[in-house]
Amino acid sequence: MNHLLHILTSKTLGLLLAIPVLACDPGLQEPPAEVSAEASGEVSPEGAEEAGVAAAVEASEVVARVNEVPIHAAEVEQRLDRIDQLYRHARRPFNANIRQAKRAEVIDRLIDHELLRQHIAQSAVEIAPKRVDLAVEERVEEHFGSTTAFQRYLRAEGLSMSDFRREVHESMVLEHTLLGEDGSKSAEEPAVSEAQLREIYARVAAGRPAAERVRVSSVTLSARDRQRAARISRAKCAPDTLPEEATHRELGWRQRHQLPAAAGFRLFGAGDAPAKSAVVPAPDGSSVTVYCVHERREAGVRDFDEVEPLLRERANRALLESKRRALLQSLRERATIERLDTPAGE
């Protein structure tokens, strides 16, 4: 029995891994609930308004200190306001008693975030900027589906693009430190074997048909290279046809709604012979992306090869989360943490 199964029961593991098959296709997911709860309270001052917000946060009451670093009441209230919005959106009550209970949870999450931030700051791990940029693009596409939805999320969370990029960078550094200095441990010791994944697939995939889908890759070119798009399209996005600055990605299996509208229209057109490629300019004209179809499957139950990457990714996330919790416990034991907030009624 591997390391992950020592931590998780088979029932819990099955639930964790079944989620992508049942409901969490890329492009459909809401941002994870803990993204907003654990988001950094720092606001990058990129203009007078953001500078004013940052000053207001720093001027507010201190509710906790983590190794002498303060956590301010304004940070807590911002997150509580966001939770209030989520409750209202779900048409659930969020009264004063619930807010007070959530307040303690939010402070705990901010303490955890600060502990991890300090741990990452002391790390010698370096992540290439291009890798961070690619990870940002992938997360935006996976969780939000469009730049419009992503911008709405940033506004709701009070984050700037640089804040979001910094959080992605920090998560990549943390993942590197948790999985080992060379990152090879997860490759040598998969969290879950293929046999276990197939067993889970057999239990949950049947009866969950998907719409028509394509196995697709993409190539993003800068505006100055857009004249190469037609040749790359004819070459089916083959890596050896790309200029050095191009970004090539294997997107796996995607349904129409999981692609940009222009690409989905071309690749899933109403005609009998939908296009095998699509060229989609960025809204700001700074780049162009070529989408190439390599295989097409009709509506029906997904094959194992379609969901295996999602199942394995969820298993790896479960392993990372267990390691993150163990690290936090260790950091809390060594840290100097002061809680200055006083619950109502005390």
Could you give the CA distance from residue 177 to residue 102 in angstroms, rounded to a whole number? 30
Could you give the CA distance from residue 93 to residue 221 in angstroms, rounded to a whole number? 48
Q: Are 17 and 247 in contact (CB under 8 A)?
A: no
How many other CB atoms sit within 10 Å of the CB of residue 85? 13
pLDDT in tens, the chain (346 residues): 344 333 333 433 343 434 334 333 433 333 333 333 333 344 444 444 455 555 556 667 999 999 999 999 999 999 999 899 889 888 898 888 999 999 999 999 999 999 999 999 888 888 999 999 989 988 887 788 677 888 888 888 778 999 999 999 998 998 888 876 444 444 445 667 888 888 888 877 766 788 999 999 999 999 888 899 999 999 999 998 898 889 899 999 999 998 988 999 999 986 667 899 999 998 888 899 999 999 999 999 888 888 888 888 887 888 889 999 999 999 999 999 999 876 544 4
Phi/psi for 255 (5° steps) reads -90, 170
Q: Are 235 and 241 in contact (CB under 8 A)?
A: yes
Could you give the CA distance from residue 280 to residue 260 in angstroms, rounded to a whole number? 8
Nearest CA to 200 out of 24, 4, 25, 13 is that of 13
Q: Measure Cα distances from 15 to 19, 143, 291, 309 in Å.
A: 6, 20, 33, 16
Could you give the CA distance from residue 147 to residue 49 in angstroms, rounded to a whole number? 23
pTM over 0.75: no
CB proximity list for 133: less than 8 A, separation 6 or greater: 165
CB proximity list for 36: less than 8 A, separation 6 or greater: 79, 82, 83, 86, 156, 157
End-to-end CA distance of the chain, in Å? 48
